[in-house]
Structure 1
Amino acid sequence: MRGWWARAFGNRGERRAARYLRGLGYTIIARQHTNRYGEVDLIARDGDCLVFVEVKTRKSTAAGHPAEAVDRTKQGQLTRVALAYLKQHGLLNARSRFDVIAIIWPEAGRTPELQHFQNAFPPVGTGQMFS
């Protein structure tokens, strides 16, 4: 997948993930939050915990499970984005975590398979408040 179609497919997955989280009682705070370190797909509140959610949507597992795309490099980037968000909003003392939602959506019209990995990885990096 390339270009606009890939973005549209990813956006569709993010909308589905947001609906799923709202169904669990989460409050969606932001979608596609971007700062100088990159982007996080969703920021949500689960009770008193701020959740940074990476959503990976694929048509199949032919190239591996979607969650496998959230490798150590991506985890580091998400950690930096989250830390900047927390600093910007004066939330450095807030509880927070990283979740991954993997969606396999084989065809339009078919029900997607969604897996939610809560607390999917610890913050990555050195010399930060997380180390």
Structure 2
Amino acid sequence: MINNREIGTIGEEIAAEFLEKNNYKIIEKNFRYKRLGEIDIISWENDSICFVEVKTRSTLKYGLPRESVNFRKRENIKKLAQIYINRHNMHDKSIRFDVVEIYIEKNQDKIHLKEINLIKNAF
């Protein structure tokens, strides 16, 4: 049986492929800094650096995927983005925070993609 961590990883892979097909250039995945958490995908889209949070769900039992990107999660992503910008001297770049929602269907060890929803400027 596939666990939630594996589902999250699969969702991130699906999101990365989707973003690349939609003219995003991925520059880093799973950026972490200490205990702040992680940014799932960092990419370029046109002239903007995009910090992308990926949320994968097989049920809406706990709400829409985007709803799980709560205030605390958004604040952590913003802090991590600032660290990334400082490290890479990107202060003059336009930035954006996007969310990719992945809806899947689970059948034992198989996952079927049902829908992908890209929310640009999510927060």
Q: Give me the TM-score of the superposition, normalised by structure 1.
A: 0.85
Please state how far the C-alpha of 1:55 moved relative to its aligned partner: 0.2
What letter matches 2:19 in structure 1? L
Query: How many percent of aligned residue pairs carry the same amino acid?
Result: 33
The answer as to 2:118 corresponding to 1:116 is yes
Structure 1 equivalent of residue 7 of structure 2: 9
CA distance in 2, matches of 1:46, 1:58: 25
Structure 2 equivalent of residue 18 of structure 1: 16
- CA root-mean-square deviation: 1.3
Please state how far the C-alpha of 1:109 moved relative to its aligned partner: 4.4
Instruction: Give the secondary structure class of the aligned counterpart of 1:10.
Output: helix
Structure (1 or 2) with the greater strand fraction: 2
- Number of residues of Structure 1 aligned to a counterpart in Structure 2: 118
CA distance in 1, matches of 2:103, 2:22: 20
Q: Which has the higher contact order (CA 8 A, sep 6+)?
A: 2
Q: Is the 8 A contact 1:49 1:96 kept in 2?
A: yes
Structure 2 equivalent of residue 100 of structure 1: 99
Structure 2 equivalent of residue 51 of structure 1: 50
Q: Which runs of 4+ in 1 moved over 6 A?
A: none
Gaps of at least 5 residues in structure 1 are 122-131
Matched ranges for 1:22-33 at <5 A: 22-33=20-31
Q: Give me the TM-score of the superposition, normalised by structure 2.
A: 0.91
Gaps of at least 5 residues in structure 2 are none
